[in-house]
Amino acid sequence: MIAPGSTIGILGGGQLGRMLAIAAAQLGYRCHAFDPNPDSGAAEVCAQFTCASWFDRNVLGLFAAACDVVTFEFENVPAGPLATIPPGKLWPPVKALEVAQDRLQEKSFAENCGGRPAAYAAVDSPEDLLRAIERVGAPGVLKTRREGYDGKGQWRIASAREAEGLRLPGSDLIYEGFVNFTAEFSVILVRAADGEVRFWDSPGNVHTGGILTTSTLPAPPVVVAQVPAARALAGRIAEALDYVGVMTCEFFATEAGPVFNEMAPRVHNSGHWTIEGAETSQFENHVRAICGLPLGDTRTTAPRVQMENLIGRDVERAGAILAEPGAHLHLYGKAEAREGRKMGHVTRIGR
């Protein structure tokens, strides 16, 4: 067990790290953030901050030595240099990061665990793309295999004809058939080192332009019906990875059952509602899991909960939100409200 008073290292300095550090502080831990970007919302609430390149193994080694346990809040942390961190000190395991960083590996990993992703094919050339469309069909979505997030690195393709004129944004791409879903939802779980798994209720998620806008509980009936199968898959993925910490899997609810979209080996935006809407938040349970403390109760505490992301200039509504009864405002301390940038969120609790 990593006792309260110890130091938790957080790789990544964004809002997820900020909320992790706040939860860790409540349990008596100190946090030390690591990020190449000096402008870090997590660093503002951490006892220490190391600002260095992900590839500086020397500094990464010193950082790990100064921490009692290390975790990550950003899934594009380059996996190679993490070999500097002694095994058993980094949770979730690096393997989870490697699988989640590559959409191709991620989908085949989920398939091997019995999951069903959208039809897909690897694309490294314009010829590959045409072959992929022939096999998978159109419309579809062309995505970068790595480093895409919030809808970045994704292009909708309506037909083979449209693809013929397309200049590819490089190689290492994946083409996926477009899924005609009824709803989107996520399974958020926490797994302890002894294999105990707890799930939060699954919210219905709405994305706009690839960015999550709301997570709502209770989810629509079509989601509720598909949660057991989705949970079973997420549990098998976590077990196959020897996972410790919070993990999220995103799904499309379709007429033929849940279609696996992607996994996040970390706390997730669709779990922010758990701060006020559940007995134990995803952030606290992540800390508990990686520190070897007993897991907390994941029960939802209100009949209705909705998390809304404040994206770009939505943040200008912060003053009005503060006046709303039952609304819990979180701002991430970002100075510039650029379009598409997650500036904060609000969770509304309904009775």
Nearest to 99 by CA among 86, 110, 89: 110
Report, in Å, the least distance between residue 215 CB and ligand AMP: 12
User: What residues pair up with 11 in beta bridges, in sequence order?
Assistant: 34, 72
Nearest to 246 by CA among 261, 234, 258: 234
The verdict on whether omega for the bond into residue 139 sits within 30 degrees of 0, i.e. cis, is: yes
Q: What gap in Å lies between CA 207 and CA 226, rounded to an integer?
A: 19
Report, in Å, the least distance between residue 184 CB and ligand AMP: 5
Report, in Å, the least distance between residue 289 CB and ligand AMP: 24
CA 103 to chain centre: 14
Binders of ligand AMP in range 114-153 (CB under 6 A):
118, 141, 148, 151
Binders of ligand AMP in range 191-230 (CB under 6 A):
207, 210
Q: If binding is defined by CB under 6 A, does position 261 make contact with ligand AMP?
A: yes
Report, in Å, the least distance between residue 290 CB and ligand AMP: 25
CA 170 to chain centre: 25
Q: Are strands 245-254 and 197-199 parallel, antiparallel or unpaired?
A: unpaired
What x-and-dash track marks residues 147-186 binding ligand AMP by CB under 6 A? -x--x------------------------x-xx----x--
Report, in Å, the least distance between residue 132 CB and ligand AMP: 13
Binders of ligand AMP in range 268-307 (CB under 6 A):
none
Q: If binding is defined by CB under 6 A, does position 250 make contact with ligand AMP?
A: yes
Q: What gap in Å lies between CA 40 and CA 209, rounded to an integer?
A: 25
In the complex with ligand AMP, which residue's Cβ is closer, 215 or 298? 215
Report, in Å, the least distance between residue 148 CB and ligand AMP: 6
Q: What gap in Å lies between CA 37 and CA 242, rounded to an integer?
A: 31
Q: What gap in Å lies between CA 278 and CA 11, rounded to an integer?
A: 26
| Interacting residues toward ligand AMP by CB under 6 A | 118, 141, 148, 151, 176, 178-179, 184, 207, 210, 250, 261-262
